[in-house]
Amino acid sequence: MTVKIVTDSTADLPPQLAQELDISVVPVYVRFGQELFRDSVDINEDQFYQRLLNEPIHPKTIQPSPKDFSDVYRSLAPKSDGIISIHVTSKLSGTYNSALQGKKETAGECPIEVIDSQVVTMGLGELVIAANTMAGLGKKLPEIADEVRRLIPTIRLLGLLDTLKYLALGGRIGKVETLLSSILSVKPLLTMREGQLIPVGVARSRSRGIDRLFEFVKNSRNIQDLAVVYNTTLDEEHTLISRISSFFPREKIRLARLGPPLGVHGGPGILFVCIREAM
């Protein structure tokens, strides 16, 4: 037996990759009015973004319940030496706390480590993939958990948003709020710092924003993992990947799609670059 890896759907792991690596993904819920959907189970990305753009009701996200986690932990316990459960930053979601409660509900059935990644989207995904690689090498649960926590500071993200409208609607603006009035007409650039969303500048146009993403990657050093994440502009993602491949192997660049849990708050037109650097 080996250590099993669990995460939540905000990691935006490509479904085929999660299946290949046998990583368990607990879905976040998305609510449109009275309709409740499990991310990537009851609603896919195309369906979600079509509704987000065309319906008057602004959706909300709901974290998985403790029972959602305890059910997954119980299903994995008989076939594992331990479980490492890595989740979206607790500063933006209650998912981490639900996972902790799920661990309490399964106390004694299997050793479980729950980790707050302090990041979002494929920044979380890269930690999950790294943990899975360690498990495949036969490392034990405490060693993997310690290593993942050491890796958290090596994750760097930069995101380009097309508008702040959806962050304002969802109440997830945080420190960006002070800049809201001055940057609604431009393209905000955001990153994660100590688990929180913070502004790192603006671009005067979409193309200049994409240039900033390119320069962010180009100026990074010792890149171990790299992902480009889009939600509604696949052509822009392919163009960005083509530019990055001039200095970083294209086959090592992961392409991912931002799912409903973060799309609710960011809206359409999001591009993220997520990097894991060498320690």
Let me know whether 143 and 59 are in one domain. yes
Domain that holds residue 208: 154-277
CA distance 15 to 23: 10
Let me know whether 261 and 273 are in one domain. yes
Instruction: List the chain pLDDT tens, one digit each, 279 residues.
Output: 799 999 999 999 999 999 999 999 999 999 999 999 999 999 999 999 999 999 998 999 999 999 999 999 999 999 999 999 999 999 999 999 999 999 999 988 899 999 999 999 999 999 999 999 999 999 999 999 999 999 999 999 999 998 877 776 765 554 454 455 444 568 889 999 999 888 888 888 899 999 999 999 999 989 999 999 999 999 999 999 999 999 999 999 999 999 999 999 889 999 999 999 998
Let me know whether 46 and 144 are in one domain. yes
Among residues 74, 157, 57, which one has the least CA distance to residue 110?
Answer: 74
Let me know whether 26 and 142 are in one domain. yes
Let me know whether 80 and 164 are in one domain. no
Question: Using an 8 Å Cβ cutoff, are 115 and 88 in contact?
Answer: no
Let me know whether 29 and 102 are in one domain. yes
Let me know whether 141 and 179 are in one domain. no
Instruction: Provide the CATH number for the domain around residue 236.
Output: 3.30.1180.10
- What DSSP line would sit under 108-170, residue for residue? TTS-EEEEE-S--HHHHHHHHHHHHHHHHTT--HHHHHHHHHHHGGGEEEEEE-S-SHHHHHH
Among residues 93, 204, 89, which one has the least CA distance to residue 157?
Answer: 89
**For the chain, how many structural domains are there in total?**
2
User: How many angstroms separate the Cα of 201 from the Cα of each of 35, 157, 219?
Assistant: 37, 14, 17
Among 152, 180, 215, identify where a domain stops: 152
Instruction: Provide the CATH number for the domain around residue 134.
Output: 3.40.50.10170
Let me know whether 84 and 134 are in one domain. yes
Among residues 88, 90, 146, 135, which one has the least CA distance to residue 113?
Answer: 146
Let me know whether 193 and 113 are in one domain. no
Let me know whether 37 and 148 are in one domain. yes
